[in-house]
Amino acid sequence: MPSFKSVIILFLLTLPGGRPLIHDKAQPADWCERAIRKEMAQLRETPSSRKWFKVYQVGSGVFAIAEPYNFQEVISYLITGRQKALLFDTGMGMDSILPLVRELTPLPVIVLNSHTHYDHMGGNYAFSDVRGMDLDYTREHAANGWLHEQLSAEVTPAAFCQQRLPGLDTAHYRIRPFTLSAYIHDGEQLDLGGRSIQIIATPGHAPDAISLLDRAAGYLWTGDSYYPGPIYLFGDHTDLDAYRQSMKKLATLVGGLRVVFPSHNIPMADPQVLLQVTQALEDIESGKMRGTEAGDHISSFPLKGFSFLIQDSLLKRPPVQNK
């Protein structure tokens, strides 16, 4: 995630998961009263005993585990094979995801993170087989987690529904450290038993960002490289050039894809959106598309169904239309 300072400033403009602060006049401001996104109603919900999560079966052996009662609206994914399961992200860590995973599968579980921003690794500590990129960035977050001082905005009344988690200690909420059991690498294939998952390094949003590809099924999990909402491209570790190259890489897969699974807001997207993302990045780089000020030296580039929030210093051309 971006710096704590930037989160506070942008909180007044957009919510990091992509839901605008005032996104619908018919929707109440209280997260306990907000309706679940209408796109979710079209999905097959899987019953669960955990009130914090919503579970949807979104593909063959694929469950989307959503956290819709927090402004991040993060989504983790459980991918099952015949012999093993893969959990792609472990969410906010406000409620343990492990008991829910055990309700869904008895298989041994491998945990991978789309990247080690706090909203994707909150439940890592509870699992014994957590694998990550061979990078100092990953090792740092594994060893240290994230401190309460970095996350206090996540547990304010404006940020989540505490009625869903009455036992959460909001004064000490943090992301716990975890142990890396093995390193993963770009191009590596994980055999889950009758299902092969390929790891694709997609740095840019974060140095250790990865996507997952099930080539046989036509499934692609994009993490935060793409989701329907404001895509964060600012912060100390953002690399805009690397992000462009990562999205070009993903765009080459579109012809073989049936569905894209993003990690915020809604769990399913049309693969064609990856071509739109790539084209938009080219237009921004060439200067054909110019943004508007979003505050804290960050420019906004709104597009249909998603947008970019880009740190001005990363842009090669003048960033904004109007001062």
Mean pLDDT by 10 residues, the chain (323 residues): 39 38 46 91 94 97 97 97 98 98 98 98 98 98 97 94 95 98 98 98 98 98 97 93 98 98 97 98 94 93 95 78 52
- d(CA 322, CA 311) in angstroms, rounded, equals 16
Q: Given this model, what pLDDT does residue 5 score?
A: 34
CA distance 5 to 86: 34
Q: Token pair for residue 259?
A: 């569905």
- State the pairing for strand pair 298-303/306-311: antiparallel
What is the chain's Cα-based Rg?
A: 18
In this structure, what are the phi and psi dihedrals at residue 120, rounded to the nearest 5 degrees? -120, -5
Q: Rounded to whole angstroms, how far apart are CA atoms 103 and 65? A: 12
Say how far apart CA 149 and CA 158 lie, in whole Å.
17
pTM: 0.91
pLDDT of residue 236: 84
For residue 235, the model assigns a pLDDT of 85
The single-letter code of the amino acid at 219 is Y
Domains of the chain in sequence order: 4-314 (3.60.15.10)
How much is the pLDDT for 316?
77
What pLDDT shows up at residue 251?
98
Q: Are 210 and 184 in contact (CB under 8 A)?
A: yes
